[in-house]
Amino acid sequence: MGYTPTVSTPDSRARPGREETGSFVSVPQLIEDLGPRIYNVALRVLGNTADAEDAVQQAFTDAVRGAAGFRGEASPQTWMWQIAHHAIGKVVRRRARKEVQLVPWSELGPAGEPSASAAHVLAPDDAVDRARLVALAVRCLDALPSAEREILALRDLEGMPVRDVAHTLEISVAAAKSRIHRARLTLKRAVRFAATTHAAKPNNPRKTR
Amino acid sequence: MTLSCERVFTLLSEYLDGELPSDIQAAFDKHIGGCTRCARFGQEFAQVVQSLRASERPVMPDALRTRLRELARSSPAKAQTDS
């Protein structure tokens, strides 16, 4: 059964006119506007293209089914992101993916002083270092629990405003801010740990700098 | 207004997102200016978030785009059947 979103958070963006089908929403337009962005989030949360494609296709299938019932309580974009959130969650649950964490982040305790090498990785001073940090951040993001991957993908990969993140996940703005902050802190800790581990390897040239 | 290190820690994301009220932001800046530990933590925090924002976006496969466009042309009843 498809997800039929109930939106209680109207926003001020312009409402589209009613489509010929009787719906207020144009799914073809949403595919063009949001398809690649939803695919990006799905891929980041699910970790492989096959599952991401399944989730995106399910989301737009649900949108086609639900479009006739859309009454414009929220913007079509918010409505579509909510459907995508549920479709991605459905794949996560179906797959019952075991969350693989490279490091038990919660058991690391308070971060201590970084080594000089780790501090360098976390404070890049040239383009090469920045590229390394980007790769490290993405790798560590992939190791976070799916809920944290999703909220960071929405906020920091897609640049979605906090308010829209809250609407998509159907939580309060305060809760969204809190979750975003916690997820970022977890990611930072993961990157710090990975940078330290990487820096400690004997063949890492950073160690000798 | 003064902020403790613990309070600065909790406000990092809102600071980075430019969502702090001006008086709290001023207090945040003042604290960071005088606290090396928080300044370094905040800098690393910002670097990680900015790195994520700078990462490459995957390209949606053309085949998927085609399937979605076909899906959108179908009726809700057909979408129900196809899924």
Q: For residue range B29-60, what is the model confidence (pLDDT) as tens digits?
A: 999 999 999 999 999 999 999 999 999 888 99
Average pLDDT of the residues of chain B: 88
Q: Which amino acid is at B2?
A: T
The reported pLDDT for the residue numbered A24 is 76
For an interface test with B, the pick among A29, A30, A37, A60 (most B C-beta atoms closer than 10 Å) comes out as A60
Count of alpha carbons within 13 angstroms of residue B51, beta-carbon side: 29
The reported pLDDT for the residue numbered A205 is 47
The reported pLDDT for the residue numbered A13 is 38
Instruction: Report pTM.
Output: 0.78
CA distances from A107 to A23, A28, A126, A188 (A): 50, 46, 33, 15
> What ipTM did this prediction achieve?
0.88
Alpha helices in B1-83 (DSSP H): 5-16, 22-34, 36-53, 62-73, 76-82
Q: Over 90: is that where the pLDDT of B67 sits? A: yes
CA distance B28 to chain A (A): 16
Compute the count of residue pairs across chains A and B with CB atoms less than 8 Å apart.
118
Q: Which residues of chain A fall short of a pLDDT of 50?
A: 1-21, 97-118, 202-209
The reported pLDDT for the residue numbered A72 is 79
